Amino acid sequence: MSRFQSGQPGAGDGLTAILGAGALGQLWAGYLALAPAGNTAARSRVGFVERPGTNPASLCYQLQTPQGQASEVSVSFLDPATDRPSLLLVTTKATDVLSALKATLPSLPEAVPLVLFQNGMGSQQAVAAQWPDRPVLAASTTEGANRPEPGLTVHAGRGQTWIGAMTPAAEPLLSQIVTLLGNTGLAVMPEPDIRARLWQKLIINAGINAFTALLDCPNGGILTAPFYLQWIDGVCKELHQVMIAEGLQSPGAGELRQKIEAVARSTATNTSSMRADVLRGRTTEIDYINGYVADRGKALNIATPVNQMLRQQVQQLSVTPGPSAT
Ligand SMILES: NC(=O)c1ccc[n+]([C@@H]2O[C@H](COP(=O)([O-])OP(=O)(O)OC[C@H]3O[C@@H](n4cnc5c(N)ncnc54)[C@H](OP(=O)(O)O)[C@@H]3O)[C@@H](O)[C@H]2O)c1
């Protein structure tokens, strides 16, 4: 017996299910449930997928916009017996995607598209490889959301979201999904080369996140730290070599470093998600950032000792919380 009933296959006019009721999941749920600027026609039906073994009814929270306006949001958890999602947004951490989808997908008709919102790389490829006949899409988003206290989700800053197909079955559905998610008022664009787009964000994350976690500092704090200055050229050299071997364009290690440092300066006071995870004692996404670069280097026979070192040091932080670099 399916946990979900089959709705209209594909996307565009049905119920949107969200797997992962955290900061990003609550952001999308809120924007889907609330009409932008009073445009009730753009309102969508949305519900969270419950964790197996739990039985929550609904989730109520305040969603605060970047301008500081708060709206009350109430989103139900889906009823497996009656709800018929036509789109699934996956907003768990990269570390949880496969296990969460293994619990959810056996009950979801194969035509229902999945949009993966994880940072870094590797989890998207793993999902596409595991379910190659499903419509799988990946999103690269610069929207920022956090939950500073229970019951409050803050949309910290407006960004942009690019979505692209990871499997052939997703390609004909891309524009409908972009339209549906763009009806929220958030900026959503189709991306014909989602792998290159994900790599662009990976470069920035690989050059900032691990350093902020190890140095226990906001993004701008890395720029003058001896540990960062010692290793950033090595990170960029390895990124450049792996990108070229992957058949991607790279402007060279020096320009990659400039891109990383421009973002570190423009987000100088921000706490990266990796530093936040370490401070909360949560598993980080390091395996999907510097760890992904190291894994691809290994597969392509390219030495990536600096990315591997950063991965190991961040993994150590989860075992022994606290900054380790100087
Ligand atoms: N937040 C942002 O601004 C942002 C921006 C860009 C990209 N992203 C990416 O989006 C992803 C989610 O980030 P986030 O900040 O929203 O993380 P988060 O707040 O930790 O949310 C993840 C949610 O997934 C839930 N979850 C984990 N395993 C599950 C399962 N098997 N079934 C159902 N739910 C499950 C978690 O529940 P528990 O808390 O109970 O474990 C949590 O509520 C990450 O990959 C992140 O890198 C986030």
The dihedrals phi and psi of 244, each to the nearest 5 degrees, come to: -60, -45
Q: Total structural domains in the chain?
A: 2
Do both 221 and 175 map to the same domain?
no
Name residues whose C-beta falls within 8 Å of residue 161's C-beta, 6 or more positions apart in sequence: 139, 140, 141, 142, 143, 181, 186, 187, 188, 189
For residue 13, what pLDDT is reported?
45
Question: Model's pTM, two decimal places?
Answer: 0.94
For residue 55, what pLDDT is reported?
76
Do both 166 and 207 map to the same domain?
no
C-alpha to C-alpha distance for 59 and 74, rounded to whole angstroms:
6
For residue 1, what pLDDT is reported?
32
| 246 in a structural domain | yes
Do both 179 and 208 map to the same domain?
no
pLDDT digits (tens, 9 = 90+) for 197-253: 999 999 999 999 999 999 999 999 999 999 999 999 999 999 999 999 999 999 999
Per-residue HEC secondary structure of the chain comes to: CCCCCCCCCCCCCCEEEEECCCHHHHHHHHHHHCCHHHCHHHCCEEEECCCCCCCCCEEEEEEECCCCCEEEEEEEECCCCCCCEEEEEECCCHHHHHHHHHHHHHHCCCCCCEEECCCCCCHHHHHHHHCCCCCEEEEEECCEEEEEECCEEEEEECCEEEEEECCHHHHHHHHHHHHHHHCCCCEEEECCCHHHHHHHHHHHHHHHHHHHHHHCCCHHHHHHCHHHHHHHHHHHHHHHHHHHHCCCCCCCHHHHHHHHHHHHHHCCCCCCHHHHHHHCCCCCCHHHCHHHHHHHHHHCCCCCHHHHHHHHHHHHHHHCCCCCCC
Do both 142 and 106 map to the same domain?
yes
Among the three residues 191, 223, 243, which one is the final residue of a domain in this structure? 191
Among the three residues 165, 191, 217, which one is the final residue of a domain in this structure? 191
Among the three residues 164, 191, 218, which one is the final residue of a domain in this structure? 191
Using the predicted structure, report yes or no on whether residue 12 has a pLDDT greater than 60: no
Do both 28 and 173 map to the same domain?
yes
Using the predicted structure, report yes or no on whether residue 289 has a pLDDT greater than 90: yes
Residue nearest to atom 19 of ligand 1 (CA): 22
| 172 in a structural domain | yes
Do both 290 and 221 map to the same domain?
yes
For residue 81, what pLDDT is reported?
79
Do both 87 and 155 map to the same domain?
yes
Do both 164 and 289 map to the same domain?
no
201 belongs to the catalytic site = yes
Question: Could you tell me the pLDDT band of residue 19, with boundaries at 50, 70 and 90?
Answer: very high
pLDDT digits (tens, 9 = 90+) for 55-111: 788 899 999 999 999 999 999 999 877 888 999 999 999 999 999 999 999 989 999
Task: Report the percent of the chain where pLDDT is more than 70.
Answer: 91
For residue 41, what pLDDT is reported?
60
| 9 in a structural domain | no
88 lines ligand 1 (CB under 6 A): no
For residue 9, what pLDDT is reported?
39
The dihedrals phi and psi of 317, each to the nearest 5 degrees, come to: -60, -35
The residue assigned the tokens 């296959």 is 9
16 lines ligand 1 (CB under 6 A): no
Using the predicted structure, report yes or no on whether residue 324 has a pLDDT greater than 60: no
User: Is 310 within 8 Å of 286 (Cβ atoms)?
Assistant: yes
User: Is 155 within 8 Å of 142 (Cβ atoms)?
Assistant: no
The CA 120 to ligand 1 mean position distance, Å, reads: 13
For residue 187, what pLDDT is reported?
97
| 2 in a structural domain | no
Check residue 20 and give left, alpha or beta (phi > 0: left; psi -120 to 50: alpha): left
Q: What is the mean pLDDT of the chain?
A: 92
For residue 26, what pLDDT is reported?
98
| 8 in a structural domain | no
Residue nearest to atom 31 of ligand 1 (CA): 100
Domain that holds residue 280: 196-319
Do both 215 and 165 map to the same domain?
no
| Residue to substitute in 18, 19, 24 for testing ligand 1 pocket (most ligand atoms within 8 angstroms of CB) | 24
Do both 243 and 221 map to the same domain?
yes
C-alpha to C-alpha distance for 269 and 227, rounded to whole angstroms:
19
| 326 in a structural domain | no
| 6 in a structural domain | no
Taken as a whole, the chain contains a residue count of 326
**Closest ligand 1 atom, CA of 92?**
24
**Domain of 137: which CATH number?**
3.40.50.720
| 57 in a structural domain | yes
For residue 7, what pLDDT is reported?
41
Do both 151 and 45 map to the same domain?
yes
205 lines ligand 1 (CB under 6 A): no
Do both 204 and 101 map to the same domain?
no
The CA 217 to ligand 1 mean position distance, Å, reads: 22
